């Protein structure tokens, strides 16, 4: 499974490396940074893909003076980054967590990444040493609907998720690897990104998902799915 990011299979499946979702993801990242009054000068992203999240962040007024660095083990992903014309964004083909890489940043972004990594606990623990603050975006694949439909198996081969989390197990994973939780909130990608990923099934699910979220977002996430968790750690 780890080879799909190197041999071209992941690019063939996703076509864009999910770059179309980048403006929305950047909005969520800026929100948590501003909410916690962090003023970074250097931000890195591990598993940066096509680099569009960094490109979007660099255009936000709050982060206009920040230098951004993106790292990815996939040469296909870094090739996509070549289309970015932005002096504040630099991308690298390589492993930021390698022992010979001593770079250290104000913020490390880990956006929809560690669910793809075979040894995810070791990966998350290593991230702790690469920046003062870490921001994780974690898909919440475990919910009542996914269990009933057995959808996690489909996601395993279509989008490469090897590990599956609820909000509670995501938080415990970060704590068990030495991270101090500073802030977190749910993000509703299924609803916010429906225009980018339209389908009849998604349209049907979004109705009750939206309705129940008016009463309790955690309950809606636990029953219907479609949510992720954005977490700031120190």
Are residues 24 and 189 in contact, defined by beta-carbon separation less than 8 angstroms? yes
- Going edge to edge, which strands form the sheet with 181-187? 89-93, 67-72, 42-46, 105-111, 131-139, 228-233, 181-187
Question: How many Cβ atoms sit within 10 Å of the Cβ of residue 92?
Answer: 16
| pLDDT over 90 at 94, yes or no | yes
pLDDT tens figures, 97-153: 987 888 999 999 999 999 999 999 999 999 999 999 999 999 999 999 888 888 878
Question: How many Cβ atoms sit within 10 Å of the Cβ of residue 17?
Answer: 24
Confidence tier at 1 by pLDDT (50, 70, 90): low
d(CA 220, CA 144): 10
Confidence tier at 176 by pLDDT (50, 70, 90): very high
Ramachandran angles phi, psi of 89, nearest 5°: -120, 125
What's the CATH code, domain 2-233? 3.40.50.150
């Amino acid at each position: 499974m780890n080879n799909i990011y190197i041999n071209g299979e992941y690019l063939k499946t996703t076509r864009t490396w999910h770059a179309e979702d980048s403006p929305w993801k950047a909005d969520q990242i800026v929100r948590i940074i501003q909410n916690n009054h962090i003023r970074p000068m250097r931000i890195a992203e591990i598993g940066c893909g096509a680099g569009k999240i960094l490109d979007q962040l660099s255009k936000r007024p709050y982060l206009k003076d920040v230098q951004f660095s993106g790292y990815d083990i996939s040469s296909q992903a870094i090739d996509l980054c070549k289309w970015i014309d932005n002096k504040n964004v630099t991308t690298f083909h390589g492993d930021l967590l390698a022992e010979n890489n001593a770079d250290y940043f104000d913020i490390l972004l880990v956006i929809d990444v560690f669910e793809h990594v075979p040894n995810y606990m070791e990966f998350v623990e290593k991230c702790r040493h690469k920046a003062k603050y870490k921001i994780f975006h974690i898909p919440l694949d475990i919910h009542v609907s996914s269990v009933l439909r057995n959808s996690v198996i489909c996601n395993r081969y279509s989008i490469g998720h090897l590990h599956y989390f609820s909000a509670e197990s995501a938080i415990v994973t970060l704590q068990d690897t030495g991270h101090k939780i500073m802030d977190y909130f749910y993000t509703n990608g299924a609803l916010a990104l429906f225009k980018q990923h339209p389908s009849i099934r998604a349209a049907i699910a979004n109705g009750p998902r939206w309705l129940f979220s008016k009463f309790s977002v955690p309950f809606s996430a636990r029953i219907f799915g479609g949510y992720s968790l954005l977490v700031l750690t120190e």
